Amino acid sequence: MANEIRRVDLHCKTNNAAHNTDEITTRQLIVRRGQPFSITLEMAFAFQTSDILQLTVETGRFPSQSQGTKCTFTNQAPTCVAGSKAIWSCKVDDRSVLQRGIVILSVTPAADAPVGRYALSATLKSGTAVKESLVVLFNPWCQDDSVYLPDEKERQEYVMNEHGLIYKGTSYNFNSITWEFGQFEEEMVDICLKLLDVNPKHQRDPDGDVSARCNPIYIGRVICAMINSNDDMGVLAGRWGDNFQDGVSPSSWTGSVCILQRWYQNNCMEVKYGQCWVFAGVMCTVMRFFGIPCRVVTNFQSAHDTDNSLTIDEYFDEYGFKPKQSLDNIWNFHVWVEGWMKRPDLQNEACYDGWQVMDPTPQEKSEGVFCCGPAPVVAIHQGHTDLKYDIPFVFSEVNADVVKWMLNADGSKTKIHSLSDTALVGQKISTKAVGSLTRNDITHTYKYQEGSPMERVVYDHAVRLNSQGKGGLRTDTCLLTQPKEVEMSLEKETSFKNAQDIKLNLKLSNRGKTNKKMLILINVQAMTYTGTQAKNILHDQHEKTLLPGQVVNLPIHIPYSVYCKLTGNFDSMKVSALTKDDKGDIYGTQIDFALEDPPISVK
């Protein structure tokens, strides 16, 4: 046939390089929204500028122009029907050699096109057609894309960098582990697209799901839910304990690719096992693959508030031990991700654009599904707990007040004075710095400085907004405000190194005007990193009388011979000190620390 298309060249190598996808592959066309790419069509005839070449792109099983999953356009103009979404365009490039039938088209995907795999067909007026395929991703380089990130150094870090650091430990002594994200491994194309296709929303409404893939808010929630396997065909099963015999210990993973490969190759069966940093590392890989800028964030002293009260209730028995079971906990650290995107779904225009918290670790349900976010970091910082998604939960993680109780033998409870009730939660919030292997402390982006007037103003505002429609404020969680007559603090005397004795100092100060007869309870407990008790290590009891203005120091000694038998079965130690005076007032202080492994020298 004379009027036909002989050959199509998608220029995968040059297009992918221009779209920052050539590290994934150059064997298939992978482009980004809102950015032109070139294709060459070789005709069997001399092409005229008046000739019409019609292109059609389609994604999903039932593509529709009204859903934005289909677009038909020509070298003359788009031919979309009224109400069409995600309109593509093309034009004949000046480099074309029309007399020889060489037509170079510059094709521009819609900046709001759904991400995913597309079929691309080219049709002549005569009816002859050719069909090719391509993958479309978000574009943080495009100002019209809702994930646009202005800074090139940040784009290189949060989209292009396949290597990262994740911080673990305690706020007193933490360390980083290297993590291989591997978002540009070639098989990530099939794996990440499969992850979208097996999500429950796609199973229930495939047309609506594919159409909604234009929105990074939607994609973020889908990915967040699919990283854990709690209520879908998700990637990772979580386990918090010490028995991983039927899987892999979370501490053994060093990157995301192996986990995602196992999931994909085993017909989307969950991979065992993950904990928070593994869930976050895998989610960061998938987000960066799709082109959503993403970073892994660690929050030390991270609260888990089960009732959304913005307070954490901690309980101690009459001997000063923390019981094994408690609904609320403070984790030594918790890891989530931040994704960069616009939030047009929220009020005040662009006020909430930027970094959004998303947490794939299955803790609490969000709209019936185990996922969390996206929660704007700006909204958390300002205490806007009435906005979506899951802001009260994340606000508590970084800024909850802690209320400590002593459980009495008769079943009643007594509130404990503590110096750190308002400042304990949310410390040294950390992420890898841009362009270097150093830590970037981003605590200030989540909250005002602890102890500042604005921090209290924001906290009170958050509590008021959060209590609306919930029957009012809890009155039993109000912190003790009367002047503390006894001040307590725990001070580090030696480094916290494994295989060595640990020494601390308990400092007691009587700020009152009368003698204080004190019963002092000192306890050391082995703890998991999620704040649950693993074992009691040491209990000590003293009686002291403090004169007005007197300062007393009590040494605390934790011998290695006592805790060595537990090594490997716990993540940290909690040293707590409670004192009761002759008036019945109770005071408390505590410190959590992880043991550092001694340095290894090889000769």
The amino acid present at 407, given as its one-letter code, is L
Catalytic member of 51, 305, 359, 585: 359
Q: How far is it, in rounded angstroms, from Cα 409 to Cα 512?
A: 29
Q: How far is it, in rounded angstroms, from Cα 168 to Cα 457?
A: 31
279 sits in which H/E element: helix 276-290
Identify the bridge partners of residue 177 per DSSP, sorted by sequence position: 166
Question: Tokens at residue 280, please?
Answer: 């976050």
Q: How far is it, in rounded angstroms, from Cα 49 to Cα 35?
A: 24
Assess whether the previous peptide bond of 273 is cis (omega < 30° from 0): yes
The amino acid present at 138, given as its one-letter code, is F
Catalytic member of 19, 202, 334, 417: 334
Catalytic member of 90, 276, 284, 372: 276
353 Cβ neighbours under 8 A, 6+ residues apart: 341, 342, 343, 376
Contact 489, 423 (CB under 8 A): no
51 Cβ neighbours under 8 A, 6+ residues apart: 75, 124, 125
Residue 276 is a catalytic residue: yes
Identify the bridge partners of residue 31 per DSSP, sorted by sequence position: 136
Computed over its alpha carbons, how large is the radius of gyration of the chain?
29
Contact 450, 422 (CB under 8 A): yes
Crossing angle between the packed helical segments 391-399 and 453-467, to the nearest 10 degrees = 150
Residue 557 is a catalytic residue: no
Residues recognised as catalytic: 276, 334, 359
